[in-house]
Structure 1
Amino acid sequence: MLLMSDFSTSVPRAVLSVSPQMWLTEGDSVTLICEVNGSSTGWTFSWFTVTASSGNRNPFKLLSDGIRGARGNYTVSSAALNHTGVYVCRAERGKPAYNTTISNTQLIWVTGVSPPVSLIISPNRTQHFTSVSVSLSCEDQRDSTGWRVTIYTDRYGLEDCLSVWGSQTGSTCTIRSTTQYDTGVYWCESESGEKYHPVNITVHFDVILESPVHPVTEGDTLTLHCLYQNTTPPNLRADFYKDESLIQSQTTEMIISTVSKSHEGFYYCKHPERGESPKSWISVTVFHSESQISVLHILSSVLAVSSYLLVTVVMIFKCCRMRVASVEEQESAI
């Protein structure tokens, strides 16, 4: 059994990292890498998820295939929505077994094109000012009961809304007065442990970036604003950046009229006097309609048939040449 007492100061220490990144789209590949400080041989590695259960002395759940012998990597080849969560690892060796400490926590979140439940945020943005009220609710078109808002923050770790603020009504969680400690990842979780629609929420003072909560669909319009606390009007002229590169300067808003996959990345805004906003990851979803998929299937079928016909023609041509050559040899012999 893995207990909280395993969080000791003894060495060696297990260190968990993720490759290539922790924000994923459904179907992506991701690898959890567990390493032991100061040593690399003879270890057996195990991987666990962290459960949001307040007061539980053993909040770690071993993955069904979470024991991987001497291999320090745990790979998910095709990420599903339910892979969203918080992970840790541990290593052991020798008889009797000598354990490392529990590793640092590593968050992975997976977004899908059409999740069965959506996390609705009011105000409708991913960045929020301090000392304001923010409402989060899980909305299912079929039935909104049985869902709760789950939170992962540096201060609280993994918890549900009721454990942190004690203000969840049904599937709605209300933060009455935000602080920077509320910065973290929020998602909807069912009673059976299904996890959907993770959103990275940042609480900051003075300057924030207003960006969409949901992934932007390729071809749509993306509009960003730089907002300022206790300022009228709330949006002033600012510079807008993507992945540390200036893309638009001294404007009240930034508009990308036709979004493509290349626009995916980290965005932030900066005012020369008020400072800069935190960074927000903007995801772009590539949508293929049924007609597009049908055309792709037809093209692939045509190419496959064309290749087959080409090979057949070449074989027939070679056979004909061999027969002609054989007849010419016989006539020469006569």
Structure 2
Amino acid sequence: LIKIQAVFFFSGGSSSVSLIIRPNRTQHFSSESLSLSCEDHRNSTGWTVRRYTNTLETCPSSSVRSTGTESTCTITSLITSDTGVYWCESESGHKLHPVNISIHNGDVILYSPVHPVTEGDSLTLHCLYRDKNPSNLRAEFYKDGSEVQNQTTGDMMIISTVSKSHEGFYSCQHPERGASPKRWISVTASGDFEEKISVLKILSSLLAVCPYLIVTVVLVFKCYRLRGKTSV
């Protein structure tokens, strides 16, 4: 993804355009259907879904539907070669919201947020199964190859307050169905979260300096009194 961004120069910053993915996940089973929409909240037109698999292309023309301010790409039966990067692009070539979409032939995938998680928010991961769920829903979750011992319940893993240390590759494994592919979870800083950290740092610095300030004031006061007695 980093190399592709360097080639295509994805634009950063906020935008009125959103990339909506249904189902709302990045890992999908082969033969499933997938819908991607570029929705513009300013009622402007001209945004389309584009992708890079082995080549740079728009979604297949037969699958694209434009309605008002929304351009939708629907793939009715996914295959592994649909794996790639998808994004919204304007008529002028402005590119936004790149997302890695991967298609798998196996029986297990990992449900995770499409977009990066913000520090301070919660994170929920699910083990999803092709066809029907197994009778035993107990699954193991891994981060960077190491099993996560806590924060898991059945086929679900919940982190109540995300920090930068939670960034990494996640996967899940079921004893009968097998393991899901790995998925990179990215964590971004929150303005409010950073502001709280800054305030805490300032307060801790003040607390560290306070004893020295108190001692200095006491010494100055004593010197002032001593100087007053000497003058008398």
TM-score greater than 0.5 by the shorter chain = yes
1:269 is aligned to 2:172: yes
RMSD: 3.1
Q: Does 1:198 align with 2:81?
A: no
- In 1, are the aligned partners of 2:119 and 2:193 still within 8 Å (CA)? no
| CA distance in structure 2 between the partners assigned to 1:110 and 1:185 by the alignment | 15
Higher helix proportion: 2
TM normalised by structure 1 equals 0.52
Matched, 1:160 2:58: yes
Structure number with the bigger relative contact order (C-alpha 8 A, sep ≥ 6) is 2
Residues in 1 aligned to 2:27 and 2:194: alpha-carbon distance in whole angstroms: 37
2:132 corresponds to which residue?
A: 231
- Bigger share in strand: 1
Give aligned pairs, total. Answer: 195
Identity of aligned residues (%): 62
CA distance in 2, matches of 1:169, 1:111: 26
Q: With structure 2 as the length reference, what TM-score do the two structures score?
A: 0.73
Q: Which runs of 4+ in 1 moved over 2 A?
A: 84-87, 107-112, 232-236, 248-251, 289-293
Spell out, residue by residue over 1:91-138, the C-alpha distance to the aligned partner (whole angstroms, 9 max, x if none). xxxxxxxxxxxxxxxx886765x4432210001111111111110001
Q: Secondary structure at the match of 2:195?
A: helix
Deviation at 1:236, TM superposition (A): 2.5
In the TM superposition, what whole-angstrom CA distance separates every residue of 1:195-235 from its partner, at most 9, and x where no partner exists? 11111111113111010112111111101000110113699
1:246 aligns with 2:147: yes
Equivalent residue, structure 2, for 1:283 = 186
Amino acid at match of 1:276: A
Are 1:202 and 1:278, in contact at CA under 8 Å, matched by a contact in 2?
Answer: no
Instruction: Tell me the residue number matched to 2:20.
Output: 120
Query: Aligned pair in 2 of structure 1 residues 108, 134: CA closer, same or farther (>3 Å)?
Result: same
Q: Which runs of 5+ in 2 are unaligned?
A: 207-232
Distance 1:242 1:108, change over 3 A: farther
Contact 1:130 1:204 in 2 (8 A): yes
5 Å-filtered alignment, 1:133-152, equals 133-143=33-43, 145-152=45-52
**Alpha-carbon distance in structure 1 between the residues aligned to 2:28 and 2:127:** 12
